[in-house]
Chain A
Amino acid sequence: DGGITQSPKYLFRKEGQNVTLSCEQNLNHDAMYWYRQDPGQGLRLIYYSQIVNDFQKGDIAEGYSVSREKKESFPLTVTSAQKNPTAFYLCASSIGSLAGVGETQYFGPGTRLLVL
C-alpha cells in the first residue's frame, strides 16, 4: 500500500519544548516537502528536500529544522524559537525536480500541532 504517512495525528507542545513530526513515504520519491497550513492562509512552504542529505529553506523556515538522512523519511522539528506553532502541518513528496516534469505533489494526512 503506497503512500505518505504522518505521525502523530495530533501533537501537543509545551512552552519551550521542541517537538518532532514524522513523515515517511514508500513511493520512492526523491523530493519531499513540509508545509504549514493556517486558516485562510493556504499552504506555506517550510522546508523542502530534493535529494537525500540535502534540504533547502522555504518561505517560513524560521523556528523549524529538518533532516533527510534516508530517502523515505523527512522529519520536521518545531523548535522553541517558533513562537506561534499552532497549525496543521502537511508533508508531501514528488518524483523530483531532476526529472524535469511538472511537479505533482502527493500529500500525507497531516499533523495538527497544538500548544498547551
Chain B
Amino acid sequence: QQQVKQSPQSLIVQKGGIPIINCAYENTAFDYFPWYQQFPGKGPALLIAIRPDVSEKKEGRFTISFNKSAKQFSLHIMDSQPGDSATYFCAASDSGGSQGNLIFGKGTKLSVKP
C-alpha cells in the first residue's frame, strides 16, 4: 500500500529524444508527487512536483503527467540533452497524514547519448 513502483530501471536515449519514466502507487491518500534528479555523488534535487488536482504540469523541458484514476504519474523530458544524464526518483506523500513522509521509487538511471 505504501510502495511507489518506478520503471524502467534504466533508460538510454539519443540526444533530442523524449525519455519517459513511469511511477505507480496504491495509496489513494497520496496527494503530493515530486520528482527528484540526482547526479553521481550528489544529493537529489527537486525537479518538479504535482498535486492530483491537475493532470499535467510543465516546467521548462520537464513535464509531469498525472492519471488519478489509474494511480499513475510519469515524467517526460523534452529535447533531452547529455547533461540530463542522471538518476531520477519519483516520490509520493500523504500531506494530510501525521508524518507526511515521502515514499520514494527505486530510481531510473537515464543516459542521454550525444
Contacts and interface: CB of A to CB of B under 8 A. Distances in A.
Contacts of A112: 41
Interface string A76-110: 00000000000000101010010011111111111
Interface stretch (B54-62, B67-75, B76-84, B89-97): B89-97
B102 A105 contact: yes
Interface in A19-59: 33, 40-43, 45, 48, 50, 56, 58
B9 A109 contact: no
Contacts, number: 64
Interface residues on B, range: 20 to 34
A48 B45 CA distance: 19
Contact of B44 (A56, A94, A107): A107
B96 A100 contact: yes
Interface string B30-73: 01101010000111111001010000000000000000000000
Contact of A41 (B31, B45, B106): B106
A108 to B, nearest CB: 5
A105 B95 CA distance: 12
A110 B104 contact: no
A101 B101 CA distance: 11
Main secondary structure of the interface of B (DSSP, over half): loop
B37 to A, nearest CB: 11
Interface of B: 6, 9, 31-32, 34, 36, 41-46, 49, 51, 89, 93, 95-102, 104-107
26 contacts: A40-B9, A42-B107, A43-B44, A43-B89, A45-B101, A90-B44, A97-B98, A100-B95, A101-B95, A102-B31, A102-B34, A102-B49, A102-B51, A102-B95, A102-B100, A103-B32, A103-B93, A103-B100, A103-B101, A106-B46, A107-B36, A107-B43, A107-B44, A107-B45, A108-B43, A109-B43
By Cβ-Cβ distance, the 7 closest A-B pairs, closest first, are A102-B32, A107-B43, A42-B106, A97-B100, A103-B100, A102-B95, A43-B104
